[in-house]
Amino acid sequence: MMRHVKGARCVRCGRTYEAVPNLTSCECGGILDIEYDYAYIRENFTKEKLAERRNYSMWRYRELLPVEDSTPDTPLRVGWSPLYEEKRLAEELGIGCLWVKDDGLNPTASLKDRASAMAVAKASEAGASVIACSSTGNAASSLAGNAAAAGFKTYIFVPSRAPKGKVAQLLTFGATVISVEGSYEDTFELSKEAIDRWGWYNRNAAINPYLSEGKKTVALEIMEQLGWEVPDYIAISVGDGCTIAGLWKGLKDLYAIGFIDRLPRLISAQAEGCCPLNRAIETGEDWRPMEENTLADSIAVGVPRNADKALMAIRESGGLTVNVSDQEIMDAQKLLGRSCGVFGEPAGVTGTAGVKKLCEQGRLPSDAKVVSVVTGNGLKDVANAIRFCGEPITIPGKMDLLLQEFDKRGITP
């Protein structure tokens, strides 16, 4: 019995459901949204109570999370990633303030750990022993890691293009990995069939409505780390749509319980080669599938499964959309590395690439206060980083050769 949760409601047809642990989608095919009793939460949860808490993980926000009181924290330390204020970069970009939230420092190196920890908590409430998902990679590795730590078995479906780093994580975490020769769509469909057949707990983020609730903790943290001072914009990369939907849910929760007094605008950053959601916002038409034509594999999602919630989030927030090329993404990776010491994977830095582009286009006011979420670690996809970063100076260990090379390259130490 979750006293603070009212139930789940379909975002498409409005039908309501009881919040049982193994909720999936609505009969109409729509995605469910967890609804809270905010009046109850307001009575039982204060900023002061939170400030006293020493649990620096996503579970510090239990009053806003759809789990039973008796459900234990999941074992890996997920959440409370650092939020860095980046003064030099803000100045370089010509905005008032910039904060970078490095969610690549989660246990399996991406924001998806927040959703997977939630999946593990709910699977344990459901009495399941197996959890399954399909994913472009990060949802998969985060599920494999979080589930392994908690003693669950996992079956994981990835498209065969997934970078080797992510696959290595899955195998090391002991998952049974099915690599599907085909698109993300093919991968998703096979996983769905297998989950139905064997009754595994479903960690597909666009099916299981609890997962956005895990992801929303990134918003709760940002606001607590900013001392509840609301920024003007929060930028994030968008693929399936679940992450930006989760981000928005967290912000709305905080607004509903009075922890913040206004809402920021979202910046939805997609790759030019795969931007079905941004295109829908920009044209005002329904979203249509697109090719998956970008090196930012984690957001190469031509058929976004959580389009409804994502589009609603961007629209409700009065959000901005921005589409960036692969070159712009990799430039942002270097920029974050050089200026901030943060190494993000291509999809991870796409939000920052979007901020940079909006600045160049003059679409952000010069006093704008912006948070940019880096959603995954650059070590997940080293091949692309190396491709765009160039090569080191390679020489035998002789000073005269070093001097020659410095001279040739115009380096003056």
Indicate whether 2 belongs to the interface with its own copies (CB under 8 A). Answer: no
Could you give the CA distance from residue 269 to residue 283 in angstroms, rounded to a whole number?
16
Which helix (H) or strand (E) is 25 found in, with range? none
Phi, psi of 346 (to 5 degrees): -50, -55
Sequence-distant (≥ 6) Cβ neighbours of residue 96 within 8 angstroms = 90, 365, 366, 367, 368, 369
Which residue from 266, 331, 322, 265 is spatially nearest to 299, judged by alpha carbons? 322
Could you give the CA distance from residue 208 to residue 119 in angstroms, rounded to a whole number?
8
What is the nearest approach in angstroms of its own copies to the Cβ of residue 388? 9
Which class for 387: exposed (0-12), middle (13-18), buried (19 or more C-beta within 10 A)? exposed
Indicate whether 386 belongs to the interface with its own copies (CB under 8 A). Answer: yes
- Which residue from 262, 397, 408, 410 is in contact with its own copies, where contact means CB under 8 A? 397
Query: How crowded is the C-beta side of 59, counted as CA atoms within 13 Å?
Result: 19
Indicate whether 53 belongs to the interface with its own copies (CB under 8 A). Answer: no
CA dihedral sign of residues 294, 298, 299, 303: positive
Do 347 and 297 form a contact (C-beta atoms < 8 A)?
yes
Could you give the CA distance from residue 180 to residue 161 in angstroms, rounded to a whole number?
9
Do 49 and 104 form a contact (C-beta atoms < 8 A)?
no
- Which residue from 146, 202, 243, 270 is in contact with its own copies, where contact means CB under 8 A? 146
Do 122 and 143 form a contact (C-beta atoms < 8 A)?
no
What is the nearest approach in angstroms of its own copies to the Cβ of residue 155? 7
Indicate whether 108 belongs to the interface with its own copies (CB under 8 A). Answer: yes
What is the nearest approach in angstroms of its own copies to the Cβ of residue 138? 12
- Which residue from 34, 266, 275, 340 is in contact with its own copies, where contact means CB under 8 A? 340
In the complex with its own copies, the residue whose CB is nearer, 321 or 377, is 377
In the complex with its own copies, the residue whose CB is nearer, 256 or 382, is 382
In the complex with its own copies, the residue whose CB is nearer, 132 or 281, is 132
Q: Which stretch binds its own copies (CB under 8 A): 1-9, 210-218, 255-263, 397-405?
A: 397-405
Cα of 236 vs its chain's centroid, Å? 8
Question: Which residues in 31-50 contact its own copies (CB under 8 A)?
Answer: none
CA dihedral sign of residues 18, 19, 20, 22: positive
In the complex with its own copies, the residue whose CB is nearer, 7 or 337, is 337
Question: Which residues in 158-217 contact its own copies (CB under 8 A)?
Answer: 158, 160, 164-165, 167-174, 176-182, 186-187, 189-190, 193-194, 197-198, 200
In the complex with its own copies, the residue whose CB is nearer, 39 or 386, is 386
- Count the site residues for its own copies by CB under 8 A: 82
What is the nearest approach in angstroms of its own copies to the Cβ of residue 343? 5
Q: Which stretch binds its own copies (CB under 8 A): 7-15, 81-89, 292-300, 303-311?
A: 81-89
Do 216 and 247 form a contact (C-beta atoms < 8 A)?
yes
Indicate whether 5 belongs to the interface with its own copies (CB under 8 A). Answer: no
Q: Which stretch binds its own copies (CB under 8 A): 91-99, 302-310, 359-367, 393-401?
A: 393-401
Indicate whether 375 belongs to the interface with its own copies (CB under 8 A). Answer: no
Could you give the CA distance from residue 19 to residue 23 in angstroms, rounded to a whole number?
7
Do 329 and 344 form a contact (C-beta atoms < 8 A)?
no
- Which residue from 11, 50, 126, 130 is in contact with its own copies, where contact means CB under 8 A? 130
Question: Which residues in 225-284 contact its own copies (CB under 8 A)?
Answer: none
In the complex with its own copies, the residue whose CB is nearer, 45 or 184, is 184
Indicate whether 382 belongs to the interface with its own copies (CB under 8 A). Answer: yes
In the complex with its own copies, the residue whose CB is nearer, 28 or 393, is 393
Which residue from 57, 59, 1, 4 is spatially nearest to 34, judged by alpha carbons? 4
Amino acid at 287: W
Q: Which stretch binds its own copies (CB under 8 A): 63-71, 145-153, 207-215, 275-283?
A: 145-153
Question: Which residues in 276-335 contact its own copies (CB under 8 A)?
Answer: 333-334
- Which residue from 50, 149, 226, 312 is in contact with its own copies, where contact means CB under 8 A? 149
Helix axes 164-172, 138-150, angle to 10 degrees: 10
Which residue in this structure is represented by tokens 């992801």? 215
Helix axes 276-283, 307-316, angle to 10 degrees: 50
